[in-house]
Amino acid sequence: MGTYELIVYGCQMNDYDGEKLAGIMEEAGYRPAPPGDIADVVLVYTCAVRESATTRALGRITSLARYKKHKADSVIGVGGCWPAVEKEVIESSCPHVDFTFGTTNLEDVPATVAGIRGQAASPLPDEIRLRRAAWPRANVSIMRGCNNFCAYCVVPYARGPEVCRPVDDVLHEVEELVGTGFKDITLIGQNVNSYRHGGTSFAELLLKADALCDGVFLRFTTNHPRDVNDETVAALGRCRNVARHLHLPLQSGSDAVLRAMNRDYDVSRYLDVVSKVRKAVPGICLTTDILVGFPGETEDDFEATLGVVERVRYDSAYVFMYSPRAGTAAAALADDVPRPEKVRRLQTVGARQRAIALEINEKMVGSEKLALVEGPSRKNAGEYAGRLSENKIVNFAGRARPGEFVRLEITGASSWTLRGEPAP
C-alpha cells in the first residue's frame, strides 16, 4: 500500500491513540517511511488543550505543504482533538491537507486514504495490535472522554462524554504487556477516578490490575481531586505494585477561582485528599498542575495558590499561564489579568516550586532506590537514565540494559533529576 509517517502532539491519551493509529495503518498494509523519505501518507495527530499546542501543530502542518511540491500524490491528514473542535481553521489555513478526522473511529482512516488515492481499502482485523513506541513503558486506556467541563478545557468537546472500557479488556491488555516484558504500565483516562464499568469501580480495577503486575511499576493518570474517594485511597494502601506517585491537579489554591473554573472541589477537600493519601502511602511523591492568570484571579487568589504549594510541598508541578480557548466557558470571560502579570505569577510559583523540589530531592541523597532503566541519559552522554517508583529520573554511569531494574544509591540532586551510582 505504501509508506506512512505519523506525527503526534499532546498528552498520553494522544500517545496511546497514535500507537493505535500506527497499528491500524500497518494492518492496512502500510509500513513506516524511512527517515528522510517523504511518506505516501502523512498523519498529524494534534492536541487542542492550549492555544500554544495548536499554534505548534499549525506550524508543522503548514510546513508539510513542501511535501506536495516534491510528491504531489502524497496524502496528508490531520486528526486528534484540534480538528474535532476547529476543523474549519485547519481547512482554511492549510489547503494542502487532504482530510481531517477526530479522536474516534480511527479505523476509518485507511479507507479514507484509499478513497483519496483511488484504491480499494483493505479489510482490517477485528482486533488491532498497537504499535508500541516507548518500551519498556506502556499506556493502557481505561476510558475515553470527559464529563467534567472545566471552564478552561476543550477536551469534553473534542473527545465527547466518558465511555469506560470493559474490565476484562483492560486486564487482558495489562496481562499481555506484562507477559511481553513491559515494566512500567500506566492506566490512562481524562479522569480515571470516575471509571466504572458494570459494578466495577476504579479502586476495584486498580486492585485487579495490581495483582497482574508483580515486578512491574503500575501507574494511573490523570486524577480529579473530587473523585479520589476513600475506596481509592484504601486501594492505594493495599496495592503492592502501584508506583509511589500520584498526580493530583490543583489548578488554583483559591476557592473563588476553583468555582469559576468549575472544578467541583474546594481547597479544604483537596487538602483532605492529600492528607489521606499520605497517610495511606507514607512518602508518596505528589505532583500537580497549576494554572495562573485565570479570569478574575486577584493577587490574593494567587497568594492562596502559593500557600497551597508551600503547605503540600509537591515533588514537581506543571505551571501554565491561562490563555482563552475558543469553545470553552471561560472564553466568554474577560481575560483581565495582563500578560506581564501572568508571566510574573508563572515565574514566581515556578521558582518556589523548584526550590521545594530541590529540598525534597536533596533529602533522598544517601538512600538506595530501585530504578527501571529506560535508556541512554538525555543529560549525560555515555550514561543511562532510570525511573523510580516515585516517577523521578536518576542519571547514572555503569553497565545497564534498558528494561532491567537496578538498585542505585542516590548521590546528588537537582530540582528536576537525581544522580546515582550502582549500589554495592
Supply the DSSP string of 56-115, one letter for each residue: HHHHHHHHTHHHHHH-TT-EEEEEEHHHHHHHHHHHHH-TT--EE--SS-GGGHHHHHHH
Give the pLDDT confidence of 101-156 residue by residue, as tens digits.
999 989 999 999 999 999 998 899 988 999 998 899 999 999 999 999 999 999 99
Give the pLDDT confidence of 170-227 residue by residue, as tens digits.
999 999 999 999 999 999 999 999 999 999 999 999 999 999 999 999 999 999 999 9
Q: What is the pTM of this model?
A: 0.94
Maximal C-alpha separation, the chain: 64
Q: Which residues pair with 318 in a beta bridge?
A: 289
CATH node for 2-117: 3.40.50.12160
Please state which architecture CATH assigns to domain 137-362.
Alpha-Beta Horseshoe (3.80)
Give the pLDDT confidence of 322-350 residue by residue, as tens digits.
999 888 999 999 999 999 999 999 999 99
Give the pLDDT confidence of 371-394 residue by residue, as tens digits.
999 999 998 889 999 999 999 999
- DSSP assignments along 284-296, one per residue: -EEEEEEEE--TT
Query: 368-422: which CATH topology?
Result: OB fold (Dihydrolipoamide Acetyltransferase, E2P) (2.40.50)
pLDDT at 388: 98
Class of residue 414 by CB neighbours under 10 A (exposed 0-12, middle 13-18, buried 19+): middle
String of b and e for 360-397 (b: at least 16 CB within 10 Å)?
bbeebeeeebebbbbeebeeeeeebbbbbbbbbbbbbe
Q: For residue 118, count other CB atoms closer than 10 A to its CB.
A: 7
Averaged pLDDT score across all residues of the chain: 96
d(CA 77, CA 369): 45
122: its cell numbers: 483493505
d(CA 234, CA 277): 9
Rg (CA), the chain: 22
Q: Locate the domains of the chain by residue range.
A: 2-117, 137-362, 368-422
